[in-house]
Structure 1
């Protein structure tokens, strides 16, 4: 049976010893849970939910940062037969209230850090909803999990509703069944080698499906250990990777780009014989990697040792990874596996395989049990089109929104809104988001992600975002950049902008003429607005530009 109850029960039986989840807390030291302990703690919390009046099929919200006990809350809701609504701890009060009201949450689970905020939220909601802690040891003996309502839930029953974050309007809730989630876990387990002895490091937020499926459920099901950080401080992260012997870590491209810059920056700034050797050996290793020969681990063993002596691979998802970053890290002996998916697909649909099955620049072929097709779009290049997905992982629909569900689902296929192309062996290359596409007067489509990939190579700015600026009835390509304060640029604003524009033009020279940037804006802040998975908030950037000097409401 593909239910969360059966997944946890099987994992506890197969791997009864050894830590499943562990982490260091600044206030209480190390916490660790074996799979049987996780099962018992979740069962006790499930009983408390039921005693508090929660009925099977009702929604229970979970508000907590990443920690071992987050999984206690996750499985407690499943064992109670209820529906989980994971919340983003970075949301503001109004946003959280909006999701709680929209979901009809009957109870709230928090840890100690979110206890006061949780109580304030429930006070505004009213109705005497239970508020329980995930990090408090249970009193008394736990109930037998098989006696709880979750044991009799069916595969097609609703397990989780994931709401879009950062909105005070109508949040979009993705409805995922037990089968959606568990079938995805089982499909991902086959192409990815991991098991007892592996240590996953959790750095992405657990309320996102990428981390909760790939970084929590997969290691629980395969016998691996997940380690949680007390903070995302770069020094703490680096020390933890080495100390805990981390072998796998899920990341987003922004984190990998930062790692890439730091490693290469330190290597190229080294003087003497060490610096000279790197300048000779790195291009050689890169050429060998692209020819199918992996010499990075032999030529640069210190890189892997500095990250983690037991590191096997890093997994990239959530956005497109710059191929240059993937190749450079591979040349240094660090393999990055890129995959693809969406919340609506629970979430993974495609993934490269470690070793020879890893084709950098693509997101890999479909995982077992998942089908993909390309649906042509007007203005698209030959072979390109919208990616459609079909499989047991495709969502049930959008919560309370049958119209949006009907738009997204067509005869069992989910229309992703992403544009891509597939090669003869089924490997998918993504071009961009359909909703982000810039439509030029010529009718041609420009995908911002492709231009951003080139701008990401710039040395004068920390980050760049490409959007469409209205030009009559069409649009033109426009870039927003955050200048690096240490970059060698003139102080005078006009001269600074001219230097940045020259650098942008140089980087875009390798693109087709119609894809080149026609205008640049220097963002006044230290960073562009991003989501918790570090994607640019394009609409928020556009809204800020409409209010900026020199622009108007009709420009973006």
Structure 2
């Protein structure tokens, strides 16, 4: 199939802007809980709809007092936290445009984005971010104001308190005059792409783009955003708000009446305790998070001497979910009586523990950002957490496709979200059309013309559609390797399968203009430490690990397993274990954790040459 459309859901005509939902909810349900916010003692404090509205208005008045006006661009450089959402909606109330900046951005990246967007003010989280801005401020003549959320000891009030105090004398009607001037066509934000292949480009996204996207997701995935009677739906947002996926979640939660919490880290040791205390009913994450939770659960079972039981429970969960999948598509009767009994046996001993690690109340999750292994999705579904995998780009305001409730086809990224068309071009490239497709790149008409044609977005991704409109992503046009023998290889699927091994953190497949395919592999240090402890071996240094024959044998198993999915010409013939992971700090990962392939190959040129020596 070349093209598939899902018609839009019936919705009210687009009107106004994103901040209107804050005021509407406060008027309709002032005492309903809108947010869970970290208190000073570490507990979660409820923030009502009315209180959030009042804080938004107070902050907006302060921004006006400091000269922020309709159409101004204000950068926000911070980790995910409540204050970011507060600034987003205060700026949207004024018709201003937040420009998100990843908190790990270098000075050069900050300089480029703030200059390109002609930013006039900036919000940073702490002193380190302020110093990054300060190092380039002399080359940013339009930047005249800087506010710091956490000012440090003896440095006066933070940004929110400072601005709230500054706006005390401003008439609230000034804020509402700005808000009434916002239309769906008003620019809401400029989000810079992560820059895997070059300098980041600023995606211009309007209020309409977010309204169309979030209304489609709220309507099409209602089970996610609606909870049991008397039990409010809630989610803990730990995705970076500098990424479009996180911003979409933020807007959807406010528009959908979902209680929203913020968590600044995706590190399992920090995230899991907060999931347990916040107890969300659903989460939205990248596959990396689900993989980490799965591997952590298995390591715990292994440490307790229950690895064999856990592995059997995984097999049962996968078979159980697969049987339900077949039934949903009319391909089978569903789980057999024997399989249902096995599944029930493992419910309390294994599956409930996995759900408890996610807070205990979670029933659904949405995954995006990169491909999720089919078996991982099936396991979580069999353990009682339905995962809806989706696909989208910054340019499509997050999700363009997602697996629908009740008809999940694991291993695919689902069907178009309501109001969206997916088209497969002659060369296999995925094209998208819908009301959430962005307006273009800021100050870059040539780049815009290269991806936008009469409303169609050429994604650069390769894919296929089945007869029911389910999209499978098979690779990326710019990442296809061609060996010296003329064999085309899409590295993404191979890398994903290699990473499924619990000891492997990252994998980069190489082989362009080379006689065969090879790989660079990095290790999951926590998993390796556990593996050594189970064997009764002492910890090893990175240099010792890369030469350890037993570890090499174990990693080879992961590579061989991945090779079973491809032809011999596409298989990984050899690999090299690296002493250190690819990191954003060293310019080898984007802020959204995507591999910078050319940068990695340059950094490890000697190791790549050795693979072919």
**TM value normalised by structure 2:** 0.80
* Counterparts of residues 442-453 of structure 1 (less than 5 Å): 443-453=486-496
Aligned counterparts of 1:279 and 1:477: Cα–Cα separation in 2: 31
d(CA) in 1 for partners of 2:29, 2:136: 38
Separation in 2, partners of 1:113, 1:11:
35
Q: 2: CA distance between counterparts of 1:492 and 1:234? A: 25
SS in structure 1 at match of 2:82: coil
CA gap of 1:168–1:255, structure 2 versus 1, over 3 A, is closer
**Are 1:332 and 2:383 an aligned pair?**
yes
* Range 511-520 or range 142-151, more displaced: 142-151
- For residues 104-143 of structure 1, what are the structure 2 equivalents within 5 Å? 104-111=118-125, 116-117=130-131, 120=134, 123-124=137-138, 125-126=140-141, 129-132=144-147, 134-136=159-161, 138-139=164-165, 140=168, 143=172
Q: Secondary structure at the match of 2:512?
A: strand
- Cα distance in 2 between the residues matched to 1:119 and 1:465: 33
Once residues 308 and 517 of structure 2 are traced to their aligned partners in structure 1, the CA distance between those partners, rounded to angstroms, is: 40
- Give the 3 Å change call, closer, same or farther, for CA 34–113 of structure 1 in structure 2: farther
**Deviations along 1:304-327, whole A, 9 cap, x unmatched?**
234322111122110000111111
Confirm whether residue 389 of structure 1 aligns to residue 432 of structure 2.
yes
Which whole-Å CA distance do the structure 2 matches of 1:12 and 1:450 have between them? 46
User: How far off its partner does 1:444 sit?
Assistant: 4.5
Q: Distance in 1 between matches of 2:282 and 2:557?
A: 40
* 1:366 matched to 2:416: yes
Structure 1 partner of 2:155? none
* Aligned counterpart, 2:397: 346
Closer, same or farther: CA 279–54 of 1 in aligned 2, 3 Å: closer
- For residue 117 of structure 1, report the CA deviation from its aligned partner: 3.3
Q: Distance in 2 between matches of 1:69 and 1:136?
A: 11
1:340–1:350 contact (8 Å) kept in structure 2: yes
**Take 1:303 and 1:128, find their aligned partners in 2: how far apart are those partners?**
48
CA distance in 2, matches of 1:514, 1:64: 45
Question: Could you say if the C-alpha distance between residues 519 and 224 of structure 1 is closer, same or farther in structure 2, counting changes exceeding 3 Å?
Answer: same
CA distance in 1, matches of 2:42, 2:111: 30
Distance verdict in 2 for CA 1:127–1:245, change over 3 Å: closer
Residue of structure 1 in register with 2:604 after alignment: 545
Cα distance in 1 for partners of 2:557, 2:106 equals 40
- 2:278 aligned partner: 244
CA drift of 1:232 comes to: 4.7
1:504 aligned residue: 559
The equivalent of 2:453 in structure 1 is 410
- 1:168 to 1:107, Cα distance in 2 relative to 1, 3 A: farther
Tell me the equivalent position of 1:398. Answer: 441
143 and 110 in structure 1: CA distance in 2 versus 1, 3 angstrom threshold: farther
- The structure whose RCO (Cα within 8 Å, separation 6+) is larger is 2
> Helix, strand or coil for the counterpart of 1:453?
helix
C-alpha distance in 1, partners of 2:453/2:195?
28
In 2, the alpha carbon distance for the partners of 1:494 and 1:240 equals 36
Instruction: Show CA shifts across 1:86-125 (max 9, x none).
Output: 1111112222122111110011123456674376257433
**Cα pair distance change 1:494/1:396, threshold 3 Å:** same
Q: 1:498 to 1:20 in 2, by over 3 A?
A: closer
Q: 1:100 aligns with which of 114, 118, 140?
A: 114
* Structure 1 residue 545 displacement after superposition: 2.1
Distance 2:44 2:320 in 1: 43
Q: Distance in 1 between matches of 2:549 and 2:313?
A: 38
What are the ranges of 5 or more consecutive residues in structure 1 without an aligned counterpart?
A: 378-384
**Structure 2 match to 1:380:** none
Q: How far 1:161 sits from its partner (Å)?
A: 0.7
1:481 aligns with 2:511: no
**Alpha-carbon shift at residue 30 of structure 1 (Å):** 5.4
Q: Which residue of 2 aligns with 1:53?
A: 67
Alignment partner, residue 295 of structure 2: 261
Stretch of structure 1 that moved more, 530-539 or 485-494: 485-494
CA distance in 2, matches of 1:281, 1:166: 41
Match of 1:421 in 2: 464
Residue aligning to 1:42: 56
Q: How many angstroms apart in 1 are the aligned matches of 2:232 and 2:284?
A: 17
> Structure 1's 254 and 279: CA in aligned 2 closer, same or farther, altered over 3 A?
closer
Match of 1:12 in 2: 26
In 2 relative to 1, CA 390–254 (structure 1 residues): closer, same or farther, beyond 3 Å?
same
Is 1:200 the counterpart of 2:235? The answer is yes
CA distance in 2, matches of 1:112, 1:460: 35
SS at match of 2:58: helix
Contact persistence 1:438–1:476 (CA under 8 A): no
Deviates more, 1:394-403 or 1:193-202: 193-202
Higher deviation after alignment, 281-290 or 128-137: 128-137
Structure 1 residue 492: deviation in Å?
8.1
> Which residue number corresponds to residue 525 of structure 1?
580
* Structure 2 counterpart of 1:162: 191
Deviation at 1:483, TM superposition (A): 4.2
Distance 1:365 1:15, change over 3 A: farther
Give the superposition deviation at 1:207.
Answer: 1.0
Does the CA contact (< 8 Å) of 2:118 and 2:142 recur in 1?
Answer: no
Verify the 8 A CA contact 1:436 1:467 in the aligned structure 2: no
User: What residue in structure 1 maps to residue 594 of structure 2?
Assistant: 535
In the alignment, the residues of structure 1 paired with residue 502 and residue 85 of structure 2 have an alpha-carbon distance, to the nearest angstrom, of 41
Query: Do the aligned partners of 1:83 and 1:159 also contact (CA within 8 Å) in 2?
Result: yes
- Residues 422, 508 of structure 1: alpha-carbon distance in 2 compared, 3 angstrom cutoff: same
Tell me how large the CA RMSD over aligned residues is: 3.2
Helix, strand or coil at the partner of 1:376? coil
Cα distance in 1 for partners of 2:49, 2:134 equals 33
- Offset, 1:158: 1.6
Aligned position for 1:382? none
**Equivalent position to 2:203, from 174, 185, 209:** 174
1-structure distance, mates of 2:546, 2:71 = 61
CA distance in 2 between counterparts of 1:115 and 1:515 reads 44
Ranges in structure 2 where 5+ consecutive residues have no aligned partner = 1-14, 149-158, 325-333, 533-539
* Shift, 1:364, TM fit: 0.9
